[in-house]
Structure 1
Amino acid sequence: MFDRTYDVIVVGAGHAGSEAAAAAANMGSRTLLITMNLQNIAQMSCNPAMGGIAKGQIVREIDAMGGYSGIVTDRTAIQFKMLNKSKGPAMWSPRAQSDRMRFAEEWRLMLEQTSNLDFYQEMVSGLIVENGKITGVKTSLGIEVKAKAVVLTNGTFLNGLIHIGEKQFGGGRAGERAATGITEDLIELGFDAGRMKTGTPPRVDGRSLDYSRMQEQPGDDVPEKFSYSDKTRPLEKQRSCYMTYTSPEVHDLLREGFDRSPMFNGRIKSIGPRYCPSIEDKINRFADKDRHQIFVEPEGWNTVEVYVNGFSTSLPEDVQFKALRSVSGFEQVKFFRPGYAIEYDYFPPTQLKHTLETKLVENLFFAGQINGTTGYEEAASQGLMAGINAHLKVYEKEPFILKRNEAYIGVLIDDLITKGTEEPYRMFTSRAEYRTLLRQDNADFRLTPKAHAIGLASEDRLRRMERKRSGADAFIGFFRETSVEPSEMNPVLEEKGSSLMKQSDKMYKVFSRPNITMEDMLRVGEVRKYVEENDLDKEVMEQTEIQVKYSGYIEKEKNNADKLNRLEDITIPSNFDYDKLKSLSFEAREKLKGIRPATLSQASRISGVSPSDISVMLVYMGR
């Protein structure tokens, strides 16, 4: 069946695996995607949504580089919202509710239309490694498939164990079996492994809910979209979500089952996601709060199935049902299935290089939850980077690594490799020190030229980005060069409570005032005329406004990034002997020997390595 040697084999077809396979194949690698069930490609295992705080920026970054997540989300969205609009543009985060069934279908169709990509449905049960280099995989039927590189994206399937109350059974997801064999092979090869836990809420019948007792949560009046390409359009109609709350009565009913909770009786020993706790964990940790939000999210355009966001739980099913029936609007609720927790194997990501290739086995790459992350977007971005770097390694080209000032994806991978994680890692805007540079609106400016240079982003994408950039640059130039008279601007300034102009001044200076918006400037005849004559679209005008109003902050962050990037240029030999540096602290020496950072900049971000330790290394290296 498999007489050829593939360039890249991707194991697992979740969000990470799907992006990895698409990237490697689109760059020209002969790629095989192996998964346990081809019907569940890119399945939304938990909530039916993409994006959100910082996660929306990641989806935009994936799209800017030619990944599929943004296009699939746009084509299957049922609602779109731009979060944090009341804050500065560095905080704006797009989010879309998706049609769960359509999402998986669209992903599969796009992958099937991708050249160089083959599919096979079976469980991979082992790895073939020769002389420290991966050469293929073994399946549960005993078939060996040869490859030059392998990307593991196993999600929650590695020795997965599902918990509902006191019941537990093997599985990688509800109704699907766990994957066995890979963990054991990796441990035998010398990898450190650990266990993590995540969970999911009940799914219920929307026909049994009373929406009149809940608060409606509609989408944006003028919805945007994720993809920068012209392959998608913003939504013309949307479905509403709803919000309700738990109560002291609900909390008391849930507490009745705590003695049977695997969270509290010791059955679950691993750590779950801090920022997405179960309902029992919330009640326990935040005992002072008498209610918690519940978001009622439809699973698609036509299905009646509803996702109960905020009610993730592994309590016994009878306790879940009884408590949820006491939530306002859920009095007659019917379950499709109860919530559950799942434990699975992961491999601490300090065992990886910044390309996501493992340090122990050449040409073996890890992406997604196997690295200790949580979230579709975090997984998809790692898959994209692993797929890119697997292809580049096979074809003996330079690796593709994003810096912390270039992308949230760069922050994510650098955090994982230099700091590791002992709990499921989730991206937040606060994790990025350069978030004014890493906005959702400029991901194409930052990343499309880089992705085009390595053969992933298309020529069409590059041209679209260049048109947008030149349009914004020209419009900014217009504001810098053109003056406005007090008689034309003062009525607007008076309305906004801004100090009036006494004489003619450049529009740029007036526009820079904090309370003056593009909408205000468009009331000036000359600005309106320029927009109409140049046929400027919303994206160009938004980009212009952000660059004018935040130019000082943007310049400051660029300067800070340039200073820190100088340490990025100081490479540390892979065989560097840290024991020779007696002035290093004991903790720093141990951490540096374990992680083996590639540059001084990476070394400076390792927990336990102090500025004085970096100074010692700078002196030793003659700097």
Structure 2
Amino acid sequence: MFQEYDVIVVGAGHAGCEAAAAAATMGSKVLLITMNMHTIAQMSCNPAMGGVAKGQIVREIDALGGQSGIVSDKTMIQFRMLNLSKGPAMWSPRCQSDRAMFATEWRNILENNPNVDFWQDTAKELLVEDGQVKGVKTSLGIEIKSKSVVLTNGTFLNGLIHIGEKNFGGGRTGEKAATGLTEQLVQLGFQAGRMKTGTPPRVDGRSLDYSKMEEQPGDEKPAKFSYTDTKPLAKQRSCWITYTNQEVHDVLKTGFEKSPMFSGRIKGLGPRYCPSVEDKINRFADKDRHQIFVEPEGWDTVEVYVNGFSTSLPEDVQYAALRKIPGFENAKMFRPGYAIEYDYFPPTQLKSTLETHLIKNLFFAGQINGTTGYEEAACQGLMAGINAHRNVNDLSPFVLKRSEAYIGVLIDDLINKGTEEPYRMFTSRAEYRTLLRQDNADIRLTAKGYEIGLASEDRLDAVKKKQNEVEHIISIFATTKVSPEEINGALEQMETALLREKTTLSQLLKRPQISVQKLAEHSSIVAGLIAAFEEESVQQAEINLKYDSYIEKEMLLVDKMNRLENLNIIDNFNYDIVTSLSYEGREKLKRTRPSTIGQASRISGVSPSDISVLMLYIGR
């Protein structure tokens, strides 16, 4: 009935979709197994993509040739660039998405790829021979052979949903949990754990009073995620902001004794940076209110997502508390919020390719690795799909360094440090964030995507054109001088020091009060210089000019760290023979199996003296 596939992807969430699309685009024959064909790429939680650091990840996925940025652009209903009041390393694109359109667009992309086949079923068991995965066995008892398998099970592995004192098996509301795989993997020697996440109630937007809320419109000139020719939004839907109050908190507290989180029925740790509303009012008792984001679910639906009100309290308590929020006095609830517990596998059991140490050609991606968020899952799926394809074709691993991408930071953090709570990406996790900006992801990564056969030649040509434009603009600004007579009037309006002699435009741009846009508004000379170039190229040239000293400093740090990254540790290195290693360092190194000295230096519990001993041992 089934041919032998190059790659089987189990699960069709954000990780699974990117994994299947990447491997298939590169030439592998892929089977995507999902429990429900109608929930492919389902946005299980909030209808949004991007955000702080997450937006950078989406742009990196796109730059490599992935699909999340394109899907986001085609299905967004609002776009905002966050953190514009801060430096460009912090700027982060975010969009509100049409939930239904997002899933439909992803399914269309996969169905239009001739190398992707589908099978609606549950993978119950892995077929493993001599330490290598050979395929899967489904709940129908069908054995499907493959050269590699990517597990992207999300919250479905032994998923348990909690609403007040009620709990029932499920990977998502209305969908059953997946059983069998965890137990087999544990028997094979894998370590497993439990995590928890949650979602808020959904309400009827027709029942809300928006006059009592603060409107949050999209950007006046909306940008986009993809570096391809997707179109920016011509119209947008607003989101809204309101707040809880003491009355809301008092109602919620009446349900605390029935809370599965406070009663101990939930064992898994939840996301630190997206806590439930009951957790917030318990942990931050000094706060008399908490922000609530009221987010529409799409263009043609009245359903609204109540961001900031994630809860697993009894449904009657949820409903009563909701109606105490300004604007929600007459709210009608579509469905209650809930918490979900699920199995995950500590990611220290993975190589930097996301292949497991224990089983060859078996890859884990997404929440199975302890992460939270669509974007974190999607980039792992992309990298797992790429490396599954490369493994079965005897090609070298594709790994991104911490200095090359947020994706590299995320995977390096996971495999070296592990995580005991749902991992979320922040700009603060990246030590080279001035280099890893959202505006230059294409320049950083598209050539790499093209080399491995994922990014198209058209993408590469567009990047080269942009690079040439940026360099040309920088050259013009570095050589064009303006006199006091030409520019002082503009400088006075910008409230910055006047010139006494001719100065290059690049020197003027070093001043924090000055931007190319402001110069162009006040100076016809500057306006004329930039008129011939794309806005994106002008912005990137400005960032490079304004922050060149910071960029240069980070490049020096990267060079220093790369010297350690280039010191390889042989596979199956016997750490027991290095007697000078600390006991903890030896245990952590044996468990994580780092491939380079640089990777070893980032493992929690491996000391600088351990690294010195290792370097001496390998002759450095």
Does TM, normalized by the shorter one, top 0.5? Answer: yes
Match of 2:431 among 430, 433, 449: 433
Looking at structure 1, the residues matched to 314 and 80 of structure 2 have their Cα atoms a distance apart, in angstroms, of: 35
Looking at structure 1, the residues matched to 428 and 272 of structure 2 have their Cα atoms a distance apart, in angstroms, of: 15
Q: Structure 2 counterpart of 1:358, which letter?
A: T
Q: 1:247 — aligned with what?
A: 245
Q: Compute the displacement of 1:530 (Å).
A: 2.7
1:361-440 mapped onto 2 (5 Å cutoff): 361-440=359-438
Cα deviation digits, residues 562-601 of structure 1 (max 9, x gap): 1011000111122222222232222111111111111110
Q: Compute the displacement of 1:489 (Å).
A: 1.4
Looking at structure 1, the residues matched to 490 and 238 of structure 2 have their Cα atoms a distance apart, in angstroms, of: 36
Q: Compute the displacement of 1:619 (Å).
A: 1.8
Runs of 4+ in structure 1 deviating by more than 3 angstroms, as ranges, are 523-526
Aligned residue pairs total 619
Q: 2:22 — aligned with what?
A: 23
Q: 1:610 — aligned with what?
A: 607
Cα deviation digits, residues 136-186 of structure 1 (max 9, x gap): 000111111110010000000001000000000000000000011111111
Q: 1:466 — aligned with what?
A: 464
Q: Compute the displacement of 1:18 (Å).
A: 0.2
Cα deviation digits, residues 15-73 of structure 1 (max 9, x gap): 00000000000000001101000111100000000000000000000010111100111
Q: Structure 1 counterpart of 2:412, which letter?
A: D
Q: Compute the displacement of 1:309 (Å).
A: 0.3
- Structure 1 contact 26–115 (Cα < 8 Å) conserved: no
- Structure 2 contact 490–523 (Cα < 8 Å) conserved: no
1:309-348 mapped onto 2 (5 Å cutoff): 309-348=307-346
Looking at structure 2, the residues matched to 32 and 473 of structure 1 have their Cα atoms a distance apart, in angstroms, of: 44
Q: Does residue 1:561 correspond to 2:558, yes or no?
A: yes
Looking at structure 2, the residues matched to 188 and 85 of structure 1 have their Cα atoms a distance apart, in angstroms, of: 50
Q: Structure 1 counterpart of 2:445, which letter?
A: L
Cα deviation digits, residues 258-310 of structure 1 (max 9, x gap): 00000011110110000000001001110110100010000000100000000
Q: Does residue 1:574 correspond to 2:568, yes or no?
A: no
TM-score (norm 2): 0.99
1:185-200 mapped onto 2 (5 Å cutoff): 185-200=184-199
Q: Does residue 1:113 correspond to 2:96, yes or no?
A: no
Q: 2:213 — aligned with what?
A: 214
Q: 1:52 — aligned with what?
A: 51
Q: Structure 1 counterpart of 2:46, which letter?
A: N
Q: Structure 2 counterpart of 1:52, which letter?
A: G
Q: 2:490 — aligned with what?
A: 492
- Structure 1 contact 214–242 (Cα < 8 Å) conserved: yes
Q: 1:357 — aligned with what?
A: 355
Q: 2:133 — aligned with what?
A: 134
Q: 2:93 — aligned with what?
A: 94
Q: 2:271 — aligned with what?
A: 273
1:455-604 mapped onto 2 (5 Å cutoff): 455-522=453-520, 523-532=522-531, 535-604=532-601
Q: Compute the displacement of 1:498 (Å).
A: 1.9
Q: Structure 2 counterpart of 1:472, which letter?
A: V
Q: Compute the displacement of 1:528 (Å).
A: 2.6
Of residues 213-222 and 481-490 in structure 1, the stretch that sits farther from structure 2 once superposed is 481-490
Residue aligned with 1:280, SS: helix
Q: Structure 2 counterpart of 1:446, which letter?
A: R
Residue aligned with 1:264, SS: helix
Q: 1:292 — aligned with what?
A: 290
Of residues 515-524 and 178-187 in structure 1, the stretch that sits farther from structure 2 once superposed is 515-524
Residue aligned with 2:558, SS: helix
- Structure 2 contact 30–117 (Cα < 8 Å) conserved: yes
- Structure 2 contact 42–103 (Cα < 8 Å) conserved: yes
Q: Structure 1 counterpart of 2:151, which letter?
A: L
- Structure 1 contact 197–271 (Cα < 8 Å) conserved: yes
Looking at structure 2, the residues matched to 486 and 154 of structure 1 have their Cα atoms a distance apart, in angstroms, of: 64
Q: 1:7 — aligned with what?
A: 6
- Structure 1 contact 26–114 (Cα < 8 Å) conserved: yes
What are structure 2's unaligned runs of at least 5 residues? none
Cα deviation digits, residues 322-356 of structure 1 (max 9, x gap): 11111111111111000000000000000000000
- Structure 1 contact 511–521 (Cα < 8 Å) conserved: no
- Structure 1 contact 604–610 (Cα < 8 Å) conserved: yes
Looking at structure 1, the residues matched to 618 and 502 of structure 2 have their Cα atoms a distance apart, in angstroms, of: 57
What are structure 1's unaligned runs of at least 5 residues? none
CA RMSD after TM alignment: 0.9
- Structure 2 contact 571–595 (Cα < 8 Å) conserved: yes
Q: Structure 1 counterpart of 2:183, which letter?
A: E
Looking at structure 2, the residues matched to 446 and 338 of structure 1 have their Cα atoms a distance apart, in angstroms, of: 43
Looking at structure 2, the residues matched to 16 and 94 of structure 1 have their Cα atoms a distance apart, in angstroms, of: 20
Q: Does residue 1:303 correspond to 2:301, yes or no?
A: yes
- Structure 1 contact 60–227 (Cα < 8 Å) conserved: yes
Q: Compute the displacement of 1:520 (Å).
A: 2.9
Q: Structure 2 counterpart of 1:471, which letter?
A: E
Looking at structure 2, the residues matched to 486 and 86 of structure 1 have their Cα atoms a distance apart, in angstroms, of: 29
Match of 2:617 among 601, 617, 620: 620
Q: Structure 1 counterpart of 2:548, which letter?
A: S
- Structure 2 contact 244–289 (Cα < 8 Å) conserved: yes
Cα deviation digits, residues 202-246 of structure 1 (max 9, x gap): 00111111111111111111110110101x111010000111111
Looking at structure 1, the residues matched to 484 and 166 of structure 2 have their Cα atoms a distance apart, in angstroms, of: 74
Q: Compute the displacement of 1:110 (Å).
A: 1.1
Looking at structure 1, the residues matched to 422 and 184 of structure 2 have their Cα atoms a distance apart, in angstroms, of: 23
Percent identity between matched residues is 69
Of residues 536-545 and 92-101 in structure 1, the stretch that sits farther from structure 2 once superposed is 536-545
Q: Compute the displacement of 1:401 (Å).
A: 0.1
Looking at structure 1, the residues matched to 503 and 107 of structure 2 have their Cα atoms a distance apart, in angstroms, of: 56
Of residues 168-177 and 572-581 in structure 1, the stretch that sits farther from structure 2 once superposed is 572-581
Residue aligned with 2:240, SS: strand
Q: Compute the displacement of 1:435 (Å).
A: 0.3
Q: 1:154 — aligned with what?
A: 153
TM-score (norm 1): 0.98
Q: Structure 1 counterpart of 2:162, which letter?
A: H
Q: Structure 1 counterpart of 2:99, which letter?
A: R
Residue aligned with 2:459, SS: helix
Looking at structure 1, the residues matched to 602 and 38 of structure 2 have their Cα atoms a distance apart, in angstroms, of: 42
Looking at structure 1, the residues matched to 99 and 572 of structure 2 have their Cα atoms a distance apart, in angstroms, of: 48
Q: Compute the displacement of 1:504 (Å).
A: 1.5
Cα deviation digits, residues 516-556 of structure 1 (max 9, x gap): 10013324333333333xx2111011111101101111111
Looking at structure 1, the residues matched to 558 and 284 of structure 2 have their Cα atoms a distance apart, in angstroms, of: 38
Q: 1:205 — aligned with what?
A: 204
